[in-house]
Structure 1
Amino acid sequence: MANIIILGAGIGGMSAAYEIRDAIGKEHAITVVGDGPVFNFTPSNPWLAVGWRKPDEIRLNVTEPLESRNIRFVPTRANKVVAEANRLDLVDGSSLNYDYLVITTGPRLAFERVPGSGPEGFTQSVCTGPHAEKAWLSYEEFLKKPGPVVVGALQGASCFGPAYEFAMILDTDLRRRKLRDRVPMTFVTSEPYIGHMGLGGIGDSKGLLESEMRQRHIKWISNARVTSVEQGKINAEQLDEQSAVLKTHELPFSYSMFIPPFAGVDAVQGIEGLTNPGGFILIDEHQCNPTFPNIFAAGVCVAIPPVEVTPVPTGAPKTGLMIESMVTAIANNLRDVLAGKPMKARATWNAMCLADMGDSGFAFIALPQIPPRNVTKAMSGKWVHLAKVAYEKYFLRKMRKGKADPIYETYVMKAFGIDRLKLEENID
């Protein structure tokens, strides 16, 4: 019997637990290690931050659903992966031994790289449930005395969709409250242009998003490097194509939200052969670490180089479709390894994004993620908003029942109406 540990209990970790259990059967042990027993549906955090969701509506205790599938859950944060000893040390001083380790931790949010940023500073975040709750409390105070708003993504961020989502959800909410005319809005991003998304653009994402932001009276500054945040003021430099400072900006704000730089989590930092200098997990084509072949990884914690060099550093995003594809490859490869067969499953690494805009939405598909591509689509409409709401309800319902249907099936088959087989074969 093999002992498999999954480190991380977010969307990637929970999907991995269920898919691996289905792939390898009941005779092997699976343990999920998470920082507390509560699963938070991260895609709903922008709604939570403006009061459109209550915390209990997007959260659930994962212990019972996991145990119903004969999966042990340990609600204790990891302290260190001791890869050479096949051991995971936890912060409470205990340890867990493993035969195979699957890392799905997501990133560490590196707010410290921009002084004054983050929930401990002067800006809000929607990257975690607690951050989104704090953002809502701050927003409630802001509504009593509206003023300028600055939203965006800091240099080193590798997830831009939530920044666009939050700016436009905020715009929608303020219009509904009849307060929008009192709130100048500016979008500040490290992307070289609006709609780059860390992917070099997808179809006409630039034109689509610029048009939407003009329609909503949201000004923007791209190629921006935020140098510091003070109480009520964003200090930023706008660079040219040669990375020289083109212009400096001092942006006043009464409310601000930024996506931070991402880094690898502390539990894997500094392990030679396991991570790159940023702490992201190195993997081969089978999602397996070359130095420690019994360690797999999926999701935002995986080391993926930027799609292209940009004047201000931007990371490549890992969308739900890509994460689920990684998880499926790991499940199939573990099944084969445990049966004494060579690994052959590979993730497709296609990119897809459904982003809510409050009263409508935009959707992107990039097959493959890195251009040139076989399929490129950029779309918008109210149907995207409705699809994301349906996805939220569908996924949480499945999670409560001890299931996690593949994310790509939900996104693609229910939202886009594209046949999964055609998608996997890169056929438009």
Structure 2
Amino acid sequence: MAKIVVLGAGLGGVIAAYEIRNAARREDEVVVINEYDFYQFVPSNPWVIVGWRERKDIVVDLVKPMKKKKIDFIVGKAAKVDPEAKCVRMEDGSSVDYDYLVISTGPELAFDEIEGLGPHGGHTQSVCHIDHATAGYAAFEELCADPGPVIVGAVQGASCYGPAYETAMIIETELRKRKVRDKVPMTFVTSEPYVGHLGLGGVGDTKGLLESEMRERHINWICNAKVKRVEADKMIVEEMNEDGTLKKEHELPMKFSMMLPAFRGIPAVRDVEGLSNPRGFILTDKHQRNPKYPEIFGIGVCIAIPPVEQTPVPVGVPKTGFMIESMVTATAENLGEILRGKEPTHEATWNAICIADFGDGGVAFVAQPQIPPRNVNWSMAGGWVHTAKIAFEKYFLKKIKSGKSETFYENAALSILKTHKLK
């Protein structure tokens, strides 16, 4: 019998637990450790920040589905992963032993790296967590009652850009509905070298599509941007030249802001030699295993991936749902092989599908593989994207609640490609 511990129950961790339970032998034990007793559908948080969703709409209690799948569920915060002792040490002083460990913690949000950034003691809102988004909604209501300048975007070192574009467009849509858009100047501030780069070197015509959307909605933008600091009523931004030298410093007035932070590995995995890189992201090989500790696997946002290209301002590579799902499946299948005395053979495909809702429209893209050069490099805008995002949310939450796992992102990508005759 083997004990398999999954650390983290976000998108990757939950479906990993389900798939590993299916791939493992009957006698093997599967355990999930998570700081919270719920799963949150993070892609819906841009809707939460404007009041289109409430907490109850996008949060799923994990106790019942885990029990249904015969997965032990430990609610608590990990203090440190100890690979030498093969255990996870918990903040309460206890420890959880493992034979195999799957790290799927997601990131720590590095708000502290920029003065005044973030919802806790800072001056910007966030859509990275349901608690942040609900707090952001209260701030958004204050904005609507007393309109003023809005800044949305992603800071230097960020590795997730889609939610920034979604939040900007959704806020703009809601402001129009409330008849106060004319009182709210909007600026999109991003570390990307151009609008629509997305940390992926662009996909299809995302540059043209997103620039056009910005112009239509009268949203100004600043690219190659470093946020120097944030104050209660303004943001100081350095716009850089292509060679990394300072082009211009902007002092942007601000009444409301949502800025995505840079990510880093959580403290429980940082500074463990051979396990993580200097930023705290898990080092993995093509089979999702750590080279030094092959009994440890890494999946999702917490793994180390080098940037697509060198840019004037640091830009990270996003780990999209399709890519994470592929890592999960490869990990589960590899564990199934290892438990049966075989060598692992499965590799993640690292394809990307993104459905970015803009409130009354949106942009979808498919990149196969995610990092250029690609076999499929496609993007399209239209009202159907908004409808697709709603259907996607409903379907995925249903699967999490039911304890079922399936290649949802892959099926969605294939459906889109087939519909647009791109398969």
Q: Note if 1:70 corresponds to 2:70.
A: yes
**Matches of 1:27 and 1:281 in 2, distance apart?**
29
Q: CA deviation at 1:173?
A: 0.6
Q: Deviations over 1:348-407 (max 9, x none)?
A: 011221111001110111111221111100111111111111011011111111213323
Q: CA deviation at 1:410?
A: 5.0
Matches within 5 A, 1:141-160: 141-160=142-161
Q: Note if 1:48 corresponds to 2:30.
A: no
Q: Calculate percent identity across the aligned residue pairs.
A: 56
Higher deviation after alignment, 318-327 or 132-141: 132-141
**Matches of 1:26 and 1:128 in 2, distance apart?**
35
Unaligned runs of 5+ in 1: none
Task: Tell me which residue corresponds to 1:373.
Answer: 374
Partner of 1:32, secondary structure, is strand
Task: Tell me which residue corresponds to 2:29.
Answer: 29
**Matches of 1:103 and 1:406 in 2, distance apart?**
20
Q: CA deviation at 1:417?
A: 5.1
Task: Tell me which residue corresponds to 1:194.
Answer: 195
Letter of the structure 2 residue corresponding to residue 376 of structure 1: N
**Matches of 2:238 and 2:418 in 1, distance apart?**
42
**Matches of 2:49 and 2:92 in 1, distance apart?**
32
Q: Note if 1:217 corresponds to 2:206.
A: no
- Cα 1:281/1:418, change in 2 over 3 Å: farther
Q: CA deviation at 1:27?
A: 1.8
Matches within 5 A, 1:346-385: 346-385=347-386
Q: CA deviation at 1:418?
A: 3.6
Letter of the structure 1 residue corresponding to residue 245 of structure 2: A
Task: Tell me which residue corresponds to 1:90.
Answer: 90
Q: CA deviation at 1:25?
A: 3.9
Q: CA RMSD in A?
A: 1.2
Q: Deviations over 1:10-58 (max 9, x none)?
A: 1110010111111114321001100110111111010011100010010
Task: Tell me which residue corresponds to 2:105.
Answer: 105
**Matches of 1:393 and 1:25 in 2, distance apart?**
32
Task: Tell me which residue corresponds to 2:38.
Answer: 38
**Does the CA contact (< 8 Å) of 1:189 and 1:221 recur in 2?**
yes
**Does the CA contact (< 8 Å) of 1:320 and 1:407 recur in 2?**
no
**Does the CA contact (< 8 Å) of 2:25 and 2:339 recur in 1?**
no
Task: Tell me which residue corresponds to 2:125.
Answer: 124
**Does the CA contact (< 8 Å) of 1:171 and 1:180 recur in 2?**
yes
Letter of the structure 2 residue corresponding to residue 191 of structure 1: E
**Matches of 2:349 and 2:245 in 1, distance apart?**
37
Q: Deviations over 1:223-269 (max 9, x none)?
A: 00000000110000000000000001000011000000110111001
Q: CA deviation at 1:222?
A: 0.4
Higher deviation after alignment, 115-124 or 395-404: 395-404
Matches within 5 A, 1:221-370: 221-370=222-371
**Does the CA contact (< 8 Å) of 1:152 and 1:163 recur in 2?**
yes
**Matches of 1:389 and 1:231 in 2, distance apart?**
34
**Matches of 1:154 and 1:146 in 2, distance apart?**
24
> If the length of structure 1 is used for normalisation, what is the TM-score?
0.97
Partner of 1:296, secondary structure, is strand
Q: CA deviation at 1:278?
A: 0.3
**Does the CA contact (< 8 Å) of 1:360 and 1:380 recur in 2?**
yes
How many residues of Structure 1 are paired with residues of Structure 2 in the alignment? 421
Partner of 2:396, secondary structure, is helix
Q: CA deviation at 1:334?
A: 0.1
**Matches of 2:352 and 2:399 in 1, distance apart?**
23
> If the length of structure 2 is used for normalisation, what is the TM-score?
0.98
